[in-house]
Structure 1
Amino acid sequence: MNYEEFRREYLAGGLRREMLASCPIAQFETWLQQAVAGNIADPTAMVLATVDEHGGPWQRIVLLKGVSTRGFVFYTNYSSAKAADISREPQVSLLFPWNMLERQVIVAGRAERLSALESARYFLSRPRESQLAALASRQSRPISARAVLESQMNALRRKFAEGDIPVPDFWGGYRVVPQRIEFWQGGAHRLHDRFRYYRDGDGWRIERLQP
């Protein structure tokens, strides 16, 4: 197979400065709503990039669970590899790959833990099986077989057959406070449109970037 032949033109539409909101979060929410309306699979899926203990980048997909002018929220196990990376280097990057719309959004910022109250509020809103899974998995740690994980899950089902499931102290959320946000719209003949928002005091500055 010749992968060099895989190409297509991006003709969904251009992006101009006058089309942009002054606040990147407002612009992001507009694009996210359009991604949802476009029936894109997993529109809230985002690639989270961190730096590991060897100084190398590592990426994985997580789900966006909240966005505001304060930042972008996701949840995880605080003992996971991503959490360990963040504890050493809180500067992270997010990527929203909305390929069907010929768009992507890239966020660079600092990841900060949510309060215990914020994390507990979201945990208690999750389906019961998801709550149990958070307790059962010691995320990112080796395990000998899937059967061991399933056994741990079944044991928790029996233990908490009645009553509420406690919020684990090793689980919670992060908010990525953005410093830069780039909006990319595919263009014909690879002349893509790119605009990057930078923090500028209490506001934002917008620059067009060459493709």
Structure 2
Amino acid sequence: MTPTPRRALAAAATAALLLTAAACSKATEGKASPSGAGSSTTSVSAGSSSSDSESSAPASSESGPSGGDIEAIDGSLSFTLPAGYQDAIDKINVPGAVAAVVDPASDAGFPTHIVIAKQSATGDLDTMFDSVRKQIEKKFSIKTEDANPPVDDIDGEPLKAFTTPEYTDAGKNITSALFMTEHDGSFYSFTTNTLPDNAGDAADAMVALVESVKWA
């Protein structure tokens, strides 16, 4: 039986949510918060069954429509859905998440997805970005790389970005990228998670989404 988008996202969740949750953890004096990458802060995890994961999510089992504009649940920003993507904010449970989209056609078991998370800014962007990066490298024993996307800012705000090499989570090899910016007193992380074979398409979707962002 082909997994529903909710079940597929739940099964793919641990690395995706950990990466995004790390971006929502506080940076204190340049060091990662103990509640960040070192611990799970979401009720959705690859270690739980699909039914357990679904129990913490909204009742709807259908994805949102493909195409068109999406507004963050807190009204802080809006963006245009990348081609083929659907609204998926009701399929995840990530601290600070204000928007999420998924490409259901990318892979039934691990669909490419992008999560936008927000937290109040404490310190500067460089410190926060470096803190998140170190958490991810330590957790997954990897070395991230600076990313140079073909976009310099997010609706006028400077961005920083890194990508991961392939790493294993829940028995799957995946790859991730994170863009981060600061706007109006908050940090915003844009995280994409995908199978390596879909990395090129995922990168294109991330850039398209980021280029379309409009702050409220």
Q: TM-score, normalised by structure 2?
A: 0.23
- Give the number of the structure whose residues are more often strand, by fraction: 1
Greater radius of gyration (CA): 1
